[in-house]
Structure 1
Amino acid sequence: MSDFQLSGIYVYPVKSLAGIRVERWQVAPTGLLYDRKWMLVDADGLFLSQRKLPRMALIKTALTGSELLLSAPGMEPLALSLLPAGGEWIDVTVWHDLCRARAVSGTADLWFSRFLGQDCRLVYLPDQSIRPVDPHYGSSTDHTAFSDGFPFLIVSENSLAVLNQEMGLHLAMERFRPNLVISGCAGYEEDSWREIRIGSIDFRLPKPCSRCAVPTIDPETAETGKEPLITLNRTRKWQNKVYFGQNALHDRCGELAVGDRVQIKTAGPKQPPL
């Protein structure tokens, strides 16, 4: 019997903007409710992220019962409906996926363009727009919103503790943008998990998460450093990519809460095989 627990839940309403830490949250067909249902795109409909625009990290998000609230240094707060009505249909691209999304509003576009110093548009993924997960890793019923590819990213507290010890730093979990954080297990123990249950919801972990430069961006200042990529390249590199955390798919909707018990149903060889 494990003493593993769900110790953190993070929702990211707008892809690549600051997230929200919550104590309890609903799980929808695409992942956590409202998680990455909005996204910024350029004039060609290509998604924008902190990889290109580190200042995106400075835009804070909040959710009320009816609104998405946005704030940023030097900007008046912006409130948007959680259920955008109408809006022009736009073809948008997230990595290799082409999706049909709706434009939110000209007001939102101007707000973001002014703060980021680049013309951009805010789009929303309606429920009728289905974005399947890569069939190599999921089933025909698995889909996600505007995440990089999977509904959930799972990281354990002790994996970050090990990495911080190796770096001699104290980077915050927020840099790694997980959805679910697990306590009680050994560092990188999640590498061997294949099927787990958190509370009453079962998850499959088909693929480790390869990391880009986003974790090098300080979420409070938007300044970019060299860590954790230097240390990950030394300790977590496989086939020319570095890995930290596990992508996950859920088998049902429901609710998650901090403190939920985590059960390991199936384990296997470590992924990546380090």
Structure 2
Amino acid sequence: MRLSALYRFPLKSGKGEPLNQVGLDKLGLDGDRRWMLVDEASGRFLTQRAVAKMSQLSALWNADGGLTLSAPDHSPIDIALPDGEADLRGVTLWRDTLRVPDAGDAAGAWVSEFIGKPTRLVQVPLDRARTTQAGYGKDDDQVAFADGFPLLLIGQASLEDLSSKVGRPLEMLRFRPNLVIEGSEAYAEDSWKRIRIGDVEFRVVKSCARCILTTIDPQTGERTEDREPLATLQKYRAEADGAMFGQNLVNDGNGRLEVGMPVTILE
């Protein structure tokens, strides 16, 4: 088995960024989901679930931690990493509330114009990260702005199996994984508990419950009229928490990943 693809999502619910190699810190891939859009008035997070055109919002992470945003019919904007203590804004992400740095008025004006209502861009530094979903993993596991856990893994064979059941090829980016594994059986990842990729070990902590976001075409931002692939997943991958596809991971330690690295099942 090998690591066949790497994806980073610098902005929560923005476009994915394919990578050949990347570093890891305590919050997963360097720069992954460290930025987020929030409603200016309420501080509540925004995603493609409610704003489908966010699928057309490109966010590239810069080596200094900053961000470059671009979108159709919008001039790109470079946004510096905000001061970790200045201009803190209260935000809500699912059940979590936290105070994180605001990216400033220029960034706010750009994203407000794109979204079509007053919106702010915020960033989460390592020392303001959330803890992962209670009941899974370790008490000191942390996550940036991802829904519940730092990393998501999907087996390529699992996607091919789902595509065959839906009756058409499906894009891996519909499911927004960080890591794609090649060479395993379909849904083999469901039974893994610990794996190693290169020199880094990962704990497999929880299956990923899928939502309406999987029905949004990552290229066009349009929802499928037949509710696929979610409708098919609900027929044969349903559990108490939802239709499962992919596994959430936590990395134990830092390091680097590179496409092509061998994958070893430890447990």
Q: TM-score with structure 1 length normalisation?
A: 0.93
Distance 1:123 1:240, change over 3 A: closer
1:92 aligns with 2:91: yes
Q: 2:31 aligns with which of 16, 34, 41?
A: 34
Q: 2 CA distance for matches of 1:121 and 1:233?
A: 35
Mapping 1:5-84, distance limit 5 Å: 5-42=2-39, 43-66=41-64, 67-81=66-80, 83-84=81-82
Count of matched residue pairs = 262
Shift in Å, 1:133: 1.2
Q: 2 CA distance for matches of 1:168 and 1:192?
A: 26
Q: For structure 1, which segment, 114-123 or 10-19, has the greater mean C-alpha deviation from structure 2 after superposition?
A: 114-123
Mapping 1:147-186, distance limit 5 Å: 147-186=146-185
Deviations 1:203-236 (A, max 9, x none): 1111100001111001111100111011111111
Shift in Å, 1:135: 3.6
Deviations 1:25-56 (A, max 9, x none): 00011110111111001121111100000010
Deviations 1:40-89 (A, max 9, x none): 011211111000000100011223434421110110111112x3236411
Q: Which residue of 2 aligns with 1:143?
A: 142
Q: 2 CA distance for matches of 1:247 and 1:65?
A: 26
Shift in Å, 1:257: 0.6
1:103 aligns with 2:102: yes
In percent, how many aligned pairs have the same letter?
42
Deviations 1:109-135 (A, max 9, x none): 111111111221100112221311124
Cα pair 2:209 2:241 within 8 Å, conserved = no
Q: 1 CA distance for matches of 2:164 and 2:193?
A: 27
In the alignment, structure 2 segments of 5+ residues that lack a partner are: none
Q: Residue type of the partner of 2:194?
A: E
Deviations 1:152-181 (A, max 9, x none): 000010100000000111111011000100
Q: 2 CA distance for matches of 1:250 and 1:63?
A: 20
Q: Residue type of the partner of 1:22?
A: L
Q: 2 CA distance for matches of 1:146 and 1:197?
A: 24
Aligned-residue CA RMSD in angstroms? 1.2
Q: Which residue of 2 aligns with 1:246?
A: 247
Shift in Å, 1:240: 5.8
Distance 1:34 1:112, change over 3 A: same
Q: 1 CA distance for matches of 2:142 and 2:241?
A: 28
Q: 2 CA distance for matches of 1:142 and 1:90?
A: 23
Cα pair 1:87 1:104 within 8 Å, conserved = no
Cα pair 1:87 1:105 within 8 Å, conserved = no
Deviations 1:87-123 (A, max 9, x none): 4111211111112211101111111111111221100
Q: Which residue of 1 aligns with 2:231?
A: 230
1:128 aligns with 2:154: no
Q: 1 CA distance for matches of 2:131 and 2:203?
A: 16
Mapping 1:209-224, distance limit 5 Å: 209-224=208-223
Q: 1 CA distance for matches of 2:43 and 2:95?
A: 12
Equivalent residue of 1:191, what SS? Answer: helix
Q: Residue type of the partner of 1:125?
A: V
Equivalent residue of 2:207, what SS? Answer: strand
Cα pair 1:26 1:32 within 8 Å, conserved = yes
Equivalent residue of 2:161, what SS? Answer: helix
Q: For structure 1, which segment, 228-237 or 134-143, has the greater mean C-alpha deviation from structure 2 after superposition?
A: 134-143
